[in-house]
Structure 1
Amino acid sequence: MGGSPLRAVRIVWKRELIRFARNRLRIITSLVQPVLFLFVLGTGLSGIVVSSAHFNFRTFMFPGVIAMTILFTSIFSAISIVWDREFGFLREMLVAPVSRWSLVLGKALGGATVATIQGAIMLVLAGAVGVPYRPLLLLTMLGEMGLTAFALTSFGVLVASRIAQVESFQMVTQFIVLPMFFLSGAVFPTGDLPTWLKVLTRFDPLSYAVDPLRRAVFEYVSVPAPLARILGAGITWGSYRLPTLLEVGLVALAAVSLLGVAIWQFSRTD
Structure 2
Amino acid sequence: MATDVVSVRMPARGMAHDLRAVKVVLHREMLRFVNDRTRMLSMLIQPVLWLFVMGTGLGTLVRGSIPGVDFRTFMYPGMISMTVIMTAMFSAGSIVWDREFGFLREMLVAPVSRGSIVVGKCLGGAVVAVGQGVIILAMAGLVGVPYSPELMVTLLAEMFLAAFTITAFGVTLAARMRNMQTFFGLMQMAIMPMMFLSGAMFPLANLPSWLHVLTTVNPLTYAVDPMRQAVFSHLSLPPQVNALLNPGVQWFGWQVPVSMEIGLVALLGLALLGIAIAQFRKAE
TM-score range, shorter chain: over 0.9
1:146 maps to amino acid? F
Partner of 1:256: 270
Instruction: Give me the whole-angstrom Cα distance separating, in 1, the residues matched to 2:49 and 2:238.
Output: 26
Q: Which runs of 5+ in 2 are unaligned?
A: 1-9
Query: CA shift at 1:66, angstroms?
Result: 0.2
- Write the distance in 2 (CA, Å) between the matches of 1:24 and 1:76: 14
Q: Show the counterpart of 2:240.
A: 226
Instruction: Please give the TM-score of this superposition, normalised by the length of structure 2.
Output: 0.93
Match of 2:55 among 29, 38, 42: 42
- 1:93 matched to which residue of 2? 107
Q: Which residue of 1 aligns with 2:6?
A: none
Q: Which residue of 2 aligns with 1:204?
A: 218
- Once residues 207 and 63 of structure 2 are traced to their aligned partners in structure 1, the CA distance between those partners, rounded to angstroms, is 17
Q: Tell me if the contact between 1:55 and 1:224 (Cα under 8 Å) persists in the aligned partners.
A: no
Deviation beyond 3 Å, 4+ runs, structure 1: none
Unaligned ranges ≥5, structure 1: none
1:60 to 61, 74, 89: 74
Query: Is residue 202 of structure 2 the alignment partner of residue 188 of structure 1?
Result: yes
Instruction: State the partner residue of 1:179.
Output: 193
What is the Cα deviation at residue 224 of structure 1?
2.1
Greater alpha carbon shift after TM alignment, 45-54 vs 135-144 = 45-54
Equivalent residue, structure 2, for 1:12: 25
Q: CA deviation at 1:229?
A: 1.0
Instruction: Give the whole-Å Cα distance in 1 for the aligned partners of 2:148 and 2:228.
Output: 15
Alpha-carbon shift at residue 191 of structure 1 (Å)? 1.7
What is the CA distance between 1:223 and its match in structure 2? 1.9
The structural deviation recorded for 1:48 is 1.5
Equivalent-residue separation in structure 1 for 2:106 and 2:95 (angstroms):
12
% identical aligned pairs: 54
Larger Rg: 2
TM-aligned CA deviation for residue 190 of structure 1: 1.5
1:79 Cα offset (Å): 1.4
- Aligned pair count reads 270
Whole-angstrom distance in 1 between the partners of 2:102 and 2:261: 40
Q: Aligned match of 2:257 in 217, 222, 243?
A: 243
Query: Partners of 1:50 and 1:230 in 2: how far apart?
Result: 13
Alignment of 1:26 with 2:39, yes or no, is yes
Contact preservation (8 Å) 2:204, 2:246: no
Deviations 1:187-212 (A, max 9, x none): 00112111111111111111001110
- SS class of match (2:274): helix
Superposed CA RMSD in Å reads 1.2
